[in-house]
């Protein structure tokens, strides 16, 4: 009979603990500092830049950005186009830039995570070229 009482007591304590944790679970998490004047806590929104493709080519043809910037290519050429990594026609230098074909009035995008110089072109019209310089 004593073992049974012990098991019931342990079960009740366990359930009380689970209920306490579920109600107060935020008490067990690290505190967040939501102040905006602390330089270590400032979070900026993702930076975005736009490159437009027209019949004449990419504009701007060369763009300098910071790491983590999202580039959005918008196709205003009136035809299907691509954004592909150099070298034409194998596109092997920067595989993440092989964004494929996109129609008129649509867009493709990529985030540049590492510093460097990234050359790209429209595979369907290789004379249309561009460069992204990431600092």
| Chain segment 53-99, per-residue pLDDT in tens | 999 999 999 999 999 999 999 999 999 999 999 988 888 889 999 99
Name the percent of the chain lying above pLDDT 70: 79
Among 20-24, 86-90, 123-127, the minimum mean pLDDT is found in 20-24
Domain that holds residue 108: 48-134
Residue 59 falls inside a structural domain: yes
Residue 26 has pLDDT above 90, yes or no: no
The answer to whether residue 60 sits within a structural domain is yes
φ/ψ bin of 15: left (φ > 0), alpha (ψ from -120 to 50), beta (otherwise): alpha
- The answer to whether residue 10 is domain-embedded is no
Instruction: Give the pLDDT mean for 33-39.
Output: 38
User: Looking at the 3D structure of the chain, how many domains does it have?
Assistant: 1
Alpha-carbon gap, residue 134 to 124, rounded angstroms: 25
CATH code, domain with 101: 2.60.40.420
Rounded CA separation 109/46 (Å) = 13
């Amino acid at each position: 009979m004593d073992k049974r009482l012990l098991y019931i007591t342990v079960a009740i304590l366990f359930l009380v603990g689970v209920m306490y944790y579920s109600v107060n679970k935020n008490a067990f998490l690290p505190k967040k500092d939501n102040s905006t004047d602390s330089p270590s806590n400032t979070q900026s929104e993702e930076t975005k830049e736009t490159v437009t493709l027209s019949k004449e080519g990419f504009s701007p043809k060369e763009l300098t950005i910071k790491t983590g910037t999202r580039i959005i290519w918008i196709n205003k050429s009136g035809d299907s186009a691509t954004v592909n990594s150099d070298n034409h026609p194998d596109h092997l230098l920067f595989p993440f830039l092989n964004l494929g074909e996109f129609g008129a009035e649509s867009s493709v995008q990529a985030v540049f995570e590492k510093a460097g110089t990234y050359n790209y072109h429209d595979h369907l019209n290789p004379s249309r070229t561009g460069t992204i310089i990431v600092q």
